[in-house]
């Protein structure tokens, strides 16, 4: 498995993922986006230094998307997001791709912190994030509206000093 830069030829795949209600509700976003809008956003952000978008692949098969967004080089942090196509769920792709993106953020971009927002009821995702040593930093009450109601979300963060690197080193205390 690998992650690689998002290419314009991947937009049909991303469009399909972005228009699945189950996927986008976890990102707290509306599952409605035209392919034309996605193409326009791609062209607009192609040279944007505040984003890194990756396709998750297994033997040239697209599995999902992992993104580093809101990259802030002054404060040295970013948000991470991931979607794995439902047909590949439960096979370990999310954990592996998530770790690859984290490694990229810390090793290549030299960031200090990665953060994310996760629905408090999404226990599967919280577990994946905690396995990567993310800590719950707080809970935002009724912060996102999805599936017909307002939902609480955890803000989770990972500091570089607590990151488990390639060598599997224990987090620093």
Tokens of 155: 């803000």
The tokens describing 60, both together, are: 């040239």
DSSP class of 62: E
45-73: b (≥16 Cβ within 10 Å) or e: eeeeeebbbbbbbeeeebbbbbbbeebee
Does 129 qualify as catalytic in the annotation? yes
Secondary structure E strands in the chain:
2-5, 52-58, 61-72, 77-84, 113-119, 135-146, 149-159
CA–CA distance, 14 with 132 (Å, rounded to integer)? 25
Catalytic member of 26, 129, 150, 166? 129
Query: 45, 3 in Cβ contact below 8 A?
Result: no
CB atoms within 10 A of CB 41: 13
What amino acid positions are annotated as catalytic residues?
A: 129
């Amino acid at each position: 498995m690998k992650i690689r830069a998002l290419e314009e030829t991947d937009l049909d795949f991303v469009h399909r993922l972005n228009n699945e209600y189950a996927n986008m509700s976890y990102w707290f976003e509306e599952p409605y986006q035209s392919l034309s809008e996605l193409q326009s956003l791609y062209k607009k952000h192609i040279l944007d230094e505040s984003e890194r978008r990756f396709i998750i692949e297994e033997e040239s098969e697209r599995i999902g998307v992992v993104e580093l967004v809101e990259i802030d080089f002054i404060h040295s942090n970013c948000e991470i997001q991931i979607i794995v196509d439902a047909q590949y769920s439960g096979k370990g792709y999310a954990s592996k791709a998530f770790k690859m993106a984290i490694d990229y953020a810390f090793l290549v971009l030299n960031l200090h912190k990665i953060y994310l927002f996760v629905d408090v009821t999404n226990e599967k995702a919280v577990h994946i994030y905690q396995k990567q040593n993310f800590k719950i930093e707080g809970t935002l009450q009724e912060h996102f509206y999805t599936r017909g109601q307002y939902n609480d979300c955890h803000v989770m963060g990972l500091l570089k000093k607590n990151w488990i690197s390639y060598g599997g080193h224990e987090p620093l205390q």
